[in-house]
Amino acid sequence: MNSPTQDTPPTPTPSHDQDGAVSCSDAPRFVGHALLVATLTLASRVTGLVRDAVLFASFGRGPVASAFLIGFMIPNLFRRLFGEGALASAFIPAYADLTRNDPAIARRFASLCIALLLIVTAGLTLLGELGLWWLNAQGGFSDDTHLAIRLTMLMLPYMPMICLVALIGGALQVRGRFGPPAAAPILLNLTMIVAVLWATRSSVSVGEDGQALRNAIRLVSLSVLLAGLLQLVWQLVALWRVQRLTLDFSRTAAPLKKMLWVMGPMVLGLAVFQINAAMDTLIAWGFAPKAGGAQMLSLFGRQMAYPIDDAGQVVSLAGAQRLYQFPLGVFGIAIATAIFPALAHAAADRSDRGKTSFQTILHHGLRLSFFIGLPASVGLILVRVPLTRVIFEHGRFELQDALRVATILAGYASAVWAYSMTHILTRTFYAVGDAKTPLRVSMTMVVFNLALNLTLIWPLGAAGLAWSTAISAACQVLILLLLVRRHVGSPVDASVIRGWARTAMLTAVMTAALAPMLLRYPAHELSWTGCALLLTVMVAAGAAVVLIGAWLSGAEELRWLRPVKPSQ
């Protein structure tokens, strides 16, 4: 079979009938794509863990590593926002509709969006560089803050490249090519791993605030730009095989205007996790003492101790975020990414069959995200100490550093189920063209999370930032479930409740099986090898309890997770 190129209509994906509608019987077929995305995302998350472990081991939990994470936060924020959210969510429905109804215009539309995105992001990058240059020229900042600003300037050009990668990835998903977009982040991780090892090869004996490490971190920052270029080339080659770009933009004004009209609310609507994560990092940096800066916090004319003990908590937060985002990225976002095209096609079908299929797909998504998310939440809390020690306790990153990560991880991990379900629910609104509702909810949650952050850091320190994010996510799920009834007659029916109850029961059994292991073998007292053995046994036992229990109880989620062969 020849691959579709240029204006040739794409071969229908397994989720759709030949007329492009999603049938009720085919509702779970999006899981086949989810498994592919999950497999490649698993490889991405594993290499991401290795990347962070190598970075922390080489630079430690000190000002250099913290400054790098601050500098990487801005372009990485755009990567997460566009790669997992707003731009792709606005582009995919418009491009999918054009691909089905007018492939020629679809080709021009994709080309125009890529061209405009390049122009806009390049302009934003230039403005950002000028603003950071002016900020760095001002006095009054600590040495660590100046380093963070300079590293941000160095890595900011990564932003336009990774935004283009995200948009091209959306086009590939509509064309049924889920592999290249999911595999692209692996290039970033591998490039950075090599760069860290090469850049620090001669700075092993230098103190963690030494000039050699500062020079090394600049080389690592440059590797981010190289990785962005490699990712962009990778995606362009994949797109070229199924859709040739063009400079003919005729008859694309109407679909472009429609996409931009809904994209604005989507940017904030899907960005709540990323905004919250950025606020966590900035608060951890701003409410902690730094080298070359004041050692007491001046607040409302009063001098007081900082609520966060040191700026190294930025590194602790990053480690905890990496660990809780592992199951979220492998399963939660993978399911949401694969379900969105199916939801969009079902929403476009105005018949009763389309409405039934839309509701069925949502039910499956909610049940699957909870089936995976709740055991992941509880499991991460149970294994947090052996996990952080095994992953991060190397080189300059010592036992006490790993225990700090574990404390913060408990807060973030408590709501993995909520993060996953929010991705499903938000995309449900977008599939029916309602971007305003999740926008209002998300912005409310951002304000709520900020208030919790500034409250909980005083009694809990950096861990308060994690618990604030988790509480906000749980509240957001409840609100979205209430509001989605405008578009779905019964978002939570008896089958969803039964599925959730079964998952909760299996999670309780898993907890009862694993807790005695921690009481018998305290992870903070074991050697690194002992922790590795304990972690392996606990993960294997926990997974076995949940999977065997699901099989014995006849959980439908197991059947949905099996690959489904395409219809002939």
**Distance of alpha carbon 457 from alpha carbon 281, whole angstroms:** 12
The distance from CA 60 to its chain's CA centroid, rounded to whole angstroms, is 24
pLDDT at residue number 26: 43
CA–CA distance, 362 with 532 (Å, rounded to integer): 38
Residue 475 backbone dihedrals phi, psi, to 5 degrees: -65, -40
485 DSSP assignment:
G
Asked whether the predicted pLDDT for residue 19 surpasses 80, the reply is: no
pLDDT at position 28 over 50:
no
- Identify which of 455, 390, 377, 449 has the alpha carbon closest to the alpha carbon of residue 416: 377
pLDDT tens digits for range 91-149: 888 888 888 888 888 899 989 999 998 998 899 899 999 999 999 888 777 888 889 99
The answer to whether residues 87 and 167 touch, using CB atoms and an 8 Å cutoff, is yes
Rounded Cα distance between 262 and 346, Å, is 19
Q: How far apart are CA 512 and CA 474, in angstroms?
A: 24
pLDDT of residue 130: 96
The percentage of residues in the chain with a pLDDT greater than 70, rounded to a whole number, is 86
In this predicted model, which residue has the larger pLDDT, 453 or 489? 453
Interior/surface letters 145-176, b for 16+ CB within 10 angstroms, e for the rest: bbbbbbbbbbbbbbbbbbbbbbbbbbbbbbbb
Q: Average pLDDT of the chain?
A: 84
CB atoms within 10 A of CB 375: 25
Confidence of residue 279 (pLDDT cuts 50, 70, 90): confident
Query: Over the stretch 68-83, which tens digit does the pLDDT of each residue have?
Result: 999 998 887 776 666 5
The answer to whether residue 262 scores a pLDDT higher than 80 is no
Whole-number pLDDT of residue 86: 67
Whether this model's pTM surpasses 0.85: no
pLDDT in tens, 289-332: 876 666 777 777 787 888 998 888 999 999 999 899 888 877 77
pLDDT-wise least confident of 108-112, 429-433, 526-530: 429-433
Name the more confident of 341 and 476.
476
Q: Which residues pair with 302 in a beta bridge?
A: 299
